[in-house]
Structure 1
Amino acid sequence: MSATASRPMLDPATRDALQRCAHELADAARAAILPHFRSAALDTENKASAGFDPVTVADRAAERAMRDVLVRLRPDDAILGEEYGAQAGSSGLTWVLDPIDGTRAFMSGTPTWGVLIAVVTDGGPVYGLIDQPYMGERFEGGFGVAQLTAPRGISPLSTRPVGGLDQAIVFSTFPEIGTAGERAAFERVSTAARLTRYGMDCYAYGLLALGQIDLVIEAGLQSYDICAPIAVIEAAGGVVTNWQGGPAHNGGQVLAAANPAIHAEALALLAERGA
C-alpha cells in the first residue's frame, strides 16, 4: 500500500453504490468522448500561458457529463475535476476526475489516454477506475476488487514479482521528467533497469496493475492524475508513493512499483545526492 493516512471503512451498501456510480461516470465519459476521437475537426485550445497544455472539447464534455451524473446520484459528495475545479461536499467523500488523462495522445490519435475516476477520503484514494474508451478496457481497483474488463472478458489484476531492478521495465510519460535534478534521479533508475519506455500516460499504470511492467516514475503530477491509478495499483498488489516514500495522492513526484522490493530499489536510487 502507499504511505497514506488511515482510510475509514465504508459499509457494503455504500461501497456498492460508489462502484455503480463510478461505472456510470465512466460510461457517460465514454459516450461524450468517443465522437471526438480521431476527428479531423477536433476543437483544441492551449490552457498554458507558457508552453503547451492542451484541452479539447472532449475533455470538457466528458467532465460535464460526469458531473451531471454526480449531481443526480451523489449530490452530497465533493468533486475535484481537472477542467472545472473543486466543488464542496458534506459526505466526507470526494470524486477526483480527469476526463482525459493524456490529451496530447488523444489529439494525436493514439489510444493511450484514459478517463480517471477515483473516490477519495481524507486518507487518500479508496477506489478507482482507469478507463480506455476506444479499446473498451476498464481497470478497476478497490473495495476488494482488482480486475480488468475488456472485450475479451474479465480478468484479474495482479502486479508481477519481478526479480530485481535489472529485470524491470520502467515507464514515464515525458523523457525530460521534470527539473534537471529530477531527470538525473530518473536516469539512475533507468540506467539500472532492463528497459525504459515513454509516452503512455495513464495507460502505463494500467499495464503495471496488469503485471506487464514494473515501474512508473513521474514528476509534476496533479491529484487528478494519480488518485485513480493509486487505487487500481494498490488493489493489484503494487506500491505507490512519492520519491521520499510518503503519500502520493496530492501529486508531485510519483513512484509506482509492482512490489515492495523493486520499489525499495528504485526509491534508493531516486534519493541519491538529494534528488
Structure 2
Amino acid sequence: MLAGVLADAADKITSARFRAQDLRVSRKPDRTPVTDADTAVEDAIRELLATERPGDTVAGEERGGSVAAPGRVWVLDPIDGTKNFLRGAPVWATLIALVEDGTPVVGMVSAPLLGRRWWASAGGGAWLRDDAGERRISVSAVGELGDAFLSTTDLGSWTEYHSREAYLALVDACWESRAFGDFWHHCLVAEGALDVAVEPIVNPWDVAAAQVLVTEAGGRFSDLTGAGRFDGGSALSSNGLVHDAALRLVRR
C-alpha cells in the first residue's frame, strides 16, 4: 500500500527529530506550533507522491492545498500532536488520507514512538500493527451511554468553540471519561478500547484518516451536526450504537 510507504518515510524523519536538541519551533498565524520536523515530513511525502501519483492533488497542514479539490486528494497531517512532540511526550502520529471526490477511502495513522500503526481502506476493513503483530480491529459492542468510555481534547476548546455545558452533560451521561486527544482517541474507538471520542474543533487533515478507520472498524463518524463528513469543523466518532445519544447531548 502506497500509504504505508509514505508512513515509513514520515516515521524515519519524525523518530530522528523527536527530542532533538536542535529542533526548530515556530508559530503559525493561529499561534499553534510547527517544528522543522512537520515541514520536513510533509515535503518528503509530497515528493514521493509527485513521483508515484503525479496526477493526484495534495492538501497538507503545513504547505496548503484544498481538500475539496475534485478527484483524488491526499490529505496530510505530518505530525498530529505537535505540542506533545515538542514537549517530548511520545503521543503523536503522522496522518495520511486519500480522499476521492470528497470521501475518504484510505486512512493511515502511524505513531512510531507508541509502536503502533493503524490503517483502513474502503471495503477492506480496519487494521492495527503493534508489538503483538498485525490484526483486524473492530469497535466495541457497548450499547448504552451509561456504560460508555469517552474521550475528548482540551476542555477549554469546548468553551471557546462550542459549549462546555454540552460536553459536561455528555461526561455525566457516560461511565468514564478521559482526554486522550488528537488522533489517539479516534484510533482507540476503532480498536474498541473507547466507545466515544468527540472534539468541538478540528481541521480536515486532523480527522480524514480517522473517518475511514472508524467506519471500516464498524463504527460511525460525523461532525457535531450529525453529518458524516471529515470537513465539518468538529468530530464525533463512536461504536455507532451510542452515536445518536451522544449527538443529542453535544448538539445542545
TM-score, normalization: structure 2? 0.93
Gap regions ≥5 residues in structure 2: none
Residues 42, 235 of structure 1: alpha-carbon distance in 2 compared, 3 angstrom cutoff = same
Query: What pairs up with 1:88-237 in 2 under 5 angstroms?
Result: 92-143=71-122, 144-179=124-159, 181-237=162-218
Shift of 1:90: 9.1
Q: Kindly tell me: are residues 116 and 271 of structure 1, through their superposed partners in 2, closer, same or farther at Cα, counting changes over 3 Å?
A: same
Shift of 1:191: 1.3
Q: In terms of mean alpha carbon deviation, does 73-82 or 168-177 score higher?
A: 168-177
1:80-100 CA-to-partner distances (Å, cap 9, x unmatched) read: 100001179998100000000
Of 5, 12, 15, the match for 1:34? 15
Which one-letter code corresponds to 1:250 in the other structure? D
Equivalent-residue separation in structure 2 for 1:116 and 1:94 (angstroms): 14
- Partner Cα separation in structure 1 for residue 92 and residue 232 of structure 2: 18
**Alignment root-mean-square deviation, CA:** 1.9
CA offset digits 1:105-152 (Å, max 9, x no partner) = 111222221111001022421110111022231101113131101222
In 2, Cα distance between the equivalents of 1:91 and 1:165? 38
What do residues 213-252 of structure 1 show as CA deviations (whole Å, max 9, x unaligned)? 0111102211100100001111101100111111331141
Structure with more contact order per residue of length (Cα contacts < 8 Å, sep ≥ 6)? 1
1:83–1:116: structure 2 CA closer, same or farther, 3 Å change rule?
same
With 129-138 and 21-30 compared, the bigger mean Cα shift is at 129-138
The answer to whether the 8 A contact 1:146-1:235 is kept is: yes
Moved over 2 A (4+): 87-91, 177-182
1:84 aligns with 2:91: no
Q: Distance in 1 between matches of 2:42 and 2:158?
A: 27
Q: Match of 2:251?
A: 271
Letter in 2 for 1:211: G
Query: Structure 1 unaligned runs (5+)?
Result: 1-19
Q: Under a length normalisation based on structure 1, what TM-score does the superposition of the two structures give? A: 0.86
Identity %: 35
